[in-house]
Amino acid sequence: MLSDVMEDYLKAIYVLQSEEGPPVSTSAIAAYLDKTAPSVTDMLGKLADRGLVDREPYQGVELTAEGEAVALEVVRHHRLLEAFLAEQLDYDWSEVHEEADALEHHISEEFERRVADALGDPEVDPHGDPIPGADLEPIEEGSGPRLSDHVEGDRLVVTRVSDRDEEELEYLAAAGVTPGTEIEVVDVAPFGMVTVRTPTGEQSLPADVARSIRVEDADRTDGE
């Protein structure tokens, strides 16, 4: 049986691997989990011994098929719980990540099934992240381009935002920048501030916030 900490590592590797591709560096894992590099190295050795990750010297790690299956189950629990907390218990989308982190390791498969049924088997969580199916088959995360990659005049639809920073989510909610919202890039300042037009008006977003927002072309969405 895996510990909660081991599952946290596998989930972190899965997320980082989905965003940047494998292999995932020790430093990236350390930053994501707020751990020291030596402690990460030690844990990666334990995961490799269990056949959950493949290690490439001086390169990083990649999930094995078994490790990916474990990660997908934890990710499914986490994202279902976020959806349940938001839709059924009226949590704000900025509050659900921490609660789901605390619960994801401790729910039964029956509880998971009932949550999925109660929600109508949702495909995404409140932040736009795709929810793996009950079969735990690998999914296409499809993160897409970042808002920070676009230029003035681009019409876009927000698809996903990072769920890891509560203050950032509160800021985006107040700015009206949430999944499904159509926005237009009004200005990109030389120092990185991105100004967008939303249904509620113009909003200026810091570069790091714009980088955390995934988008797709609004014209492509209109044509679907």
pLDDT tens digits for range 69-128: 999 999 999 999 999 999 999 999 999 999 999 999 999 999 999 999 999 999 999 999
Instruction: Report the pLDDT value the prediction gives residue 86, as an integer from 0 to 100.
Output: 95
The CATH number, out of the four listed (3.40.1180.10, 3.40.190.10, 3.40.50.300, 1.10.10.10), of the domain defined by the range 4-63:
1.10.10.10
Whole-structure pTM value = 0.87
Instruction: Report the pLDDT value the prediction gives residue 93, as an integer from 0 to 100.
Output: 92
**pLDDT tier for residue 59 given thresholds of 50, 70 and 90:** confident
**pLDDT tier for residue 143 given thresholds of 50, 70 and 90:** low
Instruction: Report the pLDDT value the prediction gives residue 1, as an integer from 0 to 100.
Output: 83
pLDDT tens digits for range 164-222: 788 889 989 888 899 999 999 999 998 778 999 998 899 999 988 998 899 999 886 55
Cβ atoms < 10 Å from Cβ of 151: 9
Instruction: Report the pLDDT value the prediction gives residue 119, as an integer from 0 to 100.
Output: 97
For the domain made up of 147-222, the CATH class stated in words is mainly beta
What is the C-alpha separation between 161 and 137, in angstroms, rounded?
A: 23
- Does residue 21 have a pLDDT over 60? yes
Q: Is the peptide bond before 122 cis (omega within 30 degrees of 0)?
A: no
**pLDDT tier for residue 43 given thresholds of 50, 70 and 90:** very high
**Contact predicate 18/35, CB 8 Å:** no
Domain boundaries, the chain: 4-63, 147-222
Return the SS3 of 3.
coil
Instruction: Report the pLDDT value the prediction gives residue 58, as an integer from 0 to 100.
Output: 79
**pLDDT tier for residue 20 given thresholds of 50, 70 and 90:** confident
> What are the b/e assignments for 177-200, b being 16+ CB within 10 Å?
bbbebebbbeebeeeeebbbebee
